[in-house]
């Protein structure tokens, strides 16, 4: 396996961060030693480690131990709310035995916003919040939050607790979290905070640079796809027509130009025989043709996009729900983004121009080159070398490891039932009955407790209703979406 060996003689920090549980389990000790050495040596550990080994505790102890001594900031990156909870609970256990670790739990800004009627997500929310902040019309943002910041730094809180505390004092929870994060040693947040354009605002706000960071990437097998999802764009004729309608009350010229581009694009897509890779200049030409005016002087691509972006900001300022910022984004990215990008054109009435990021290392290579160290972990990070290549992690800094399951082989029986499926097309009353029967049968036969996992809350609800009605001989605990 490609990768470097860690030096056995590397000096490890003093170990001021205690182990949060009674003992280090079999399988955890190798992982813990590798993680400590990786962070001390400034490397990147890609750990293919099975479920149940206790990855969160290993990564947090190793990273925090170094960060507290060397004034680094640990970012625990996860996309799952349940893993936010596990990370915070683990920190609380560490604190119960050792030093206080200033920690902030952070989720997407739009999910923390207190403004009623704010756009629910995406570019529109960002524009909305930026405008509120710049124009000083968000009272939650302008109000003095120093007391709340001081309070949330006293105790490690789940993000929901932080939002409640901020809401009670009428101050913006995201601002509280960011102000407190600047004084923290650990921030639990989504991948986006590092692997998207958000990083350019996030790190300066914390007063940190890349080399101050030790990253823990939870469920790291998801990272390449999450990065790719940032550079995706689709533009159909219908999007342009909708945008033109929205723009009509804001900027007549932009609305007229959007209609012209929609017509030009429709002509192009109708004449196209089949889907194929597109050239950058094909779309630019379609736009330029759409901007032409009989006998008058037309704006060029760049001036039009500036006008469109301005109309989008104006819509947000006036509180009009708008797709104009997203459409403007497509025009900018099609023109400016080249590296690792695939451009496509699809013909016909539902046709479109589209672009996709194929190579995630375009965005992640500079991060891994710049940060102090990282621990990437997952139960399915295999082959680790492939993930290291995909993410652009330098060969001389990558440490690739596979750890054995801590559970005895006889406890890892895998059985597949050929009679049930959660396939969407097969769902229905009979299948729900069959799934509940299978679970009920296993519950009756197994002496201890039992955990059942479902791909959706809807399926969970169907099974739960039936199991309750069937009076299975065990107490049932159910996870709720909230
Ligand atoms: S500053 Fe905070 S409360 Fe105000 S709009 Fe932005 S996220 Fe919402």
| Cβ–Cβ under 8 Å, residues 16 and 344 | no
Complete DSSP assignment for 46-77: EEE--TTS-HHHHHHHHHHHHHHHHT-EEEEE
> Does 141 contact ligand 1 (Cβ within 6 A)?
yes
CB-based burial label for 97 (10 Å; 0-12, 13-18, 19+): exposed
Q: Which of 140, 163, 201 to mutate to test the pocket of ligand 1 (most atoms within 8 A of CB)?
A: 140
- Alpha-carbon distance of 220 to 84, in angstroms, equals 15
Tens digits of residue pLDDT in 127-145: 889 889 988 999 999 999 9
- Counting from 1 in the atom list of ligand 1, the atom nearest the Cα of 173 is 2
CA dihedral for 172, 173, 174, 176, sign (positive or negative)? positive
- In the reported structure, the alpha carbon of residue 113 is separated from the centroid of ligand 1 by a whole-number distance in angstroms of 5
- In the reported structure, the alpha carbon of residue 126 is separated from the centroid of ligand 1 by a whole-number distance in angstroms of 9
> Does 178 contact ligand 1 (Cβ within 6 A)?
no
Question: Which protein residue's CA is at the shortest distance from atom 4 of ligand 1?
Answer: 138
Task: With both helix axes pointing from N to C terminus, report the angle between 301-317 and 122-134 in degrees, rounded to the nearest 10.
Answer: 70
> Does 108 contact ligand 1 (Cβ within 6 A)?
no
- Counting from 1 in the atom list of ligand 1, the atom nearest the Cα of 140 is 3
CA angle 319, 321, 323 (to 5 degrees): 130
**Res 387: pLDDT:** 97
- Counting from 1 in the atom list of ligand 1, the atom nearest the Cα of 138 is 4
Q: Which of 117, 118, 125 to mutate to test the pocket of ligand 1 (most atoms within 8 A of CB)?
A: 118
pLDDT tens for the chain, residues 1 to 482: 456 777 777 777 777 899 999 998 877 899 999 999 999 999 999 999 988 889 999 999 999 999 999 999 999 999 888 899 999 999 999 999 999 999 999 999 999 999 998 887 777 888 889 889 988 999 999 999 999 999 999 999 999 999 999 999 999 999 999 999 999 999 999 999 999 989 999 999 999 999 999 999 999 999 999 999 988 999 999 999 999 999 999 999 999 999 999 999 999 999 999 999 999 999 999 999 999 877 677 889 999 999 999 999 888 778 777 889 889 999 999 999 999 999 999 998 889 999 999 999 999 999 999 999 999 999 999 999 999 999 999 999 999 999 988 778 777 778 899 999 998 889 999 999 999 999 999 998 888 899 999 988 899 999 999 999 988 888 999 988 76
Nearest to 44 by CA among 460, 367, 288, 406: 367
Length of the chain: 482
Complete DSSP assignment for 119-173: --SHHHHHHHHHHHHHTT--HHHHS--HHHHHHHTTS---HHHHHHHHHHTTS-H
Other residues' Cβ atoms within 10 Å of the Cβ of residue 426: 11
What's the Rg (C-alpha) of the chain? 26
> Does 111 contact ligand 1 (Cβ within 6 A)?
no
**Res 482: pLDDT:** 64
| Cβ–Cβ under 8 Å, residues 50 and 405 | yes
What is the value of ipTM here, to two decimals?
0.99
Other residues' Cβ atoms within 10 Å of the Cβ of residue 27: 19
> Does 181 contact ligand 1 (Cβ within 6 A)?
no
Q: Which CATH class is domain 28-227+360-402?
A: alpha beta
- Alpha-carbon distance of 341 to 355, in angstroms, equals 7
Host H or E run for residue 431? helix 429-445
> Does 442 contact ligand 1 (Cβ within 6 A)?
no
Question: Which protein residue's CA is at the shortest distance from atom 8 of ligand 1?
Answer: 113
Question: Which protein residue's CA is at the shortest distance from atom 6 of ligand 1?
Answer: 129
**Res 408: pLDDT:** 80
Tens digits of residue pLDDT in 14-43: 778 999 999 988 778 999 999 999 999 999
> Does 142 contact ligand 1 (Cβ within 6 A)?
no
Buried b (16+ CB within 10 A) or exposed e, 372-410: bbbbbbbbebeebbebbebbbbeeebbbbbebebeeeee
């Amino acid at each position: 396996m490609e990768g470097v060996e860690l030096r056995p003689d590397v000096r490890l920090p003093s170990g001021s961060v205690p182990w949060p549980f009674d003992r280090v389990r079999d399988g955890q000790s190798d992982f813990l030693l590798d993680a400590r050495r990786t962070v001390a040596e400034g490397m990147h550990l890609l750990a293919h480690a099975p479920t149940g080994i206790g990855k969160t505790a290993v990564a947090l102890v190793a990273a925090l131990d170094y960060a507290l001594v060397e004034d680094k900031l640990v970012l625990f990156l996860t996309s799952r709310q349940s893993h936010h909870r596990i990370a915070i609970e683990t920190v609380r256990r560490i604190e119960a035995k050792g030093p206080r670790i200033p920690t902030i739990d952070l989720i997407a800004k739009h999910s923390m916003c207190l403004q009623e009627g704010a756009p629910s997500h995406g570019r529109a929310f960002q524009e909305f919040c930026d405008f509120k902040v710049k124009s000083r019309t968000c009272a939650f943002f302008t109000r003095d939050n120093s007391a709340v910041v001081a309070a949330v730094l006293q105790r490690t809180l789940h993000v929901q607790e932080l939002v409640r505390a901020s809401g009670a004092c009428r101050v913006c929870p995201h601002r509280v979290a960011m102000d407190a994060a600047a004084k923290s040693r650990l921030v639990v947040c989504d991948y986006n905070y590092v692997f998207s354009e958000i990083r350019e605002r996030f790190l300066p706000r914390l007063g940190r640079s890349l080399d101050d960071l030790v990253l823990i990437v939870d469920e790291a097998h998801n990272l390449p796809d999450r990065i790719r999802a940032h550079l995706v764009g689709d533009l159909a004729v219908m999007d342009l027509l909708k945008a033109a309608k929205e723009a009509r009350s804001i900027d007549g010229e932009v609305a007229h130009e959007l209609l012209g581009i929609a017509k030009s694009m429709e002509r192009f897509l109708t004449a196209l025989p089949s889907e194929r890779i597109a050239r950058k200049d094909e779309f630019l030409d379609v736009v330029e043709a759409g901007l032409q005016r009989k006998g008058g002087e037309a704006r060029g691509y760049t001036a039009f996009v500036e006008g469109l972006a301005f109309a989008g900001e104006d819509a947000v300022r006036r509180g009009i729900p708008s797709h104009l910022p997203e459409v403007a984004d497509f025009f900018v990215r099609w023109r400016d983004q080249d590296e690792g990008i695939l451009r496509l054109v699809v013909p016909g009435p539902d046709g479109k121009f589209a672009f996709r990021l194929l190579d995630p290392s375009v965005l992640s290579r500079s991060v891994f080159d710049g940060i102090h160290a990282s621990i990437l972990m997952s139960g399915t990070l295999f082959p680790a070398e492939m993930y290291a290549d995909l993410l652009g992690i330098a060969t001389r800094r990558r440490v690739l490891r596979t750890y054995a399951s801590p559970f005895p082989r006889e406890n890892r029986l895998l059985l597949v039932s050929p009679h049930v499926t959660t396939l969407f097309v097969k769902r229905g009353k009979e299948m729900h009955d069959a799934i509940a029967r299978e679970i009920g049968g296993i519950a009756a036969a197994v002496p201890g407790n039992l955990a059942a996992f479902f791909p959706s809350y809807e399926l969970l609800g169907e099974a739960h209703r039936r199991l309750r009605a069937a009076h299975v001989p065990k107490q049932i605990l159910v996870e709720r979406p909230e």
